[in-house]
Chain A
C-alpha cells in the first residue's frame, strides 16, 4: 500500500502565478479531502469528494481556488492567481468509511 501520494512536496512561486497541487488517493478509497494547515488557522477542510463528486466545497476560500477529481485515482487543487496569503501546507486525505489517510502534504510558499 503506497499511501496517499501528493506532489510536489514543496512549491515556491511568485504572486500571481497559477499553482496546481496533485493527489493520488489510496486505491479503493471513495472519499477524498483537501485540507490547508497554517499556524494561525490550524487544519481547515477546503473541499471533499465522494465517488469523484464534490460534496462540500464550503471551505474553499474564494473563486481563485478550484478542485477537480476526474477519476478515482487523481485529484487536483488549483490556485489562480496565487497570493502570499495562500502560503500554507496543503494536505490531501482519502478514506473508505473511516479513518482518513493523509499524504505528507505540499508546502506552498507564494512570494
Chain B
C-alpha cells in the first residue's frame, strides 16, 4: 500500500528555475526521505528528515516537513538539466525496522 503521494505527477521547467515537489502521507511517521531515479538506474537517496525536524538543507535541496498536515516538500533551487529525473518521497514508519513506503513519484524535466 502506498503511504506517500507526490504532487505534481510531472513537472517541466526551464534551467535556472526552482522546482517544488510535494508529498502527502496518511499515518504517523518516524522519518521522511526523498530519492531520485535517473532513467534506467536505481534510486539514489537525497535527504532524510526526521519527524521532529521541520526543515533541512543539502546543497541546492531544501526539504520541509509539516507533521500536523502530514506533508513534505522538496525544493530544488537553480535547476540544471542534470536534475531531470523522477523524484520519490518515502515514509519510514515508527515500528518497521528500516522499511519505507514509496510514493508514485514526480517526473521532473529541466529544459536547457
**Chain A interface residues toward B at CB < 8 A:** 4, 31, 33, 35, 42-43, 45, 48, 50, 55-56, 91, 93, 95-105
Contact = CB atoms under 8 A, between A and B. Distances in A.
B45 A45 contact: no
Interface size class of B (residues with CB under 8 A): 20 to 34
A98 B92 contact: yes
Nearest to B41: A104
B5 to A, nearest CB: 11
28 contacts: A31-B97, A33-B99, A42-B2, A42-B103, A43-B43, A43-B105, A45-B101, A45-B102, A48-B97, A48-B99, A50-B97, A55-B97, A56-B99, A91-B42, A93-B42, A93-B43, A95-B98, A96-B98, A97-B98, A98-B48, A98-B92, A99-B35, A99-B48, A100-B43, A100-B45, A101-B45, A103-B42, A105-B42
Given A42-B105, A104-B41, A99 B99 contact: no
Contacts of B42: 4, 91, 93, 102-105
B67 interface: no
Interface of B: 2, 31, 33, 35, 40-45, 48, 88, 92, 96-105
A12 to B, nearest CB: 16
Contacts of B43: 43, 91, 93, 100, 102
A98 B33 contact: yes
A53 B100 CA distance: 18
Contacts of B101: 45
A79 to B, nearest CB: 20
**10 closest pairs, A vs B, by CB?**
A102-B42, A99-B45, A31-B98, A43-B102, A42-B104, A102-B43, A95-B98, A104-B42, A50-B97, A103-B42
Contacts of A56: 96, 99
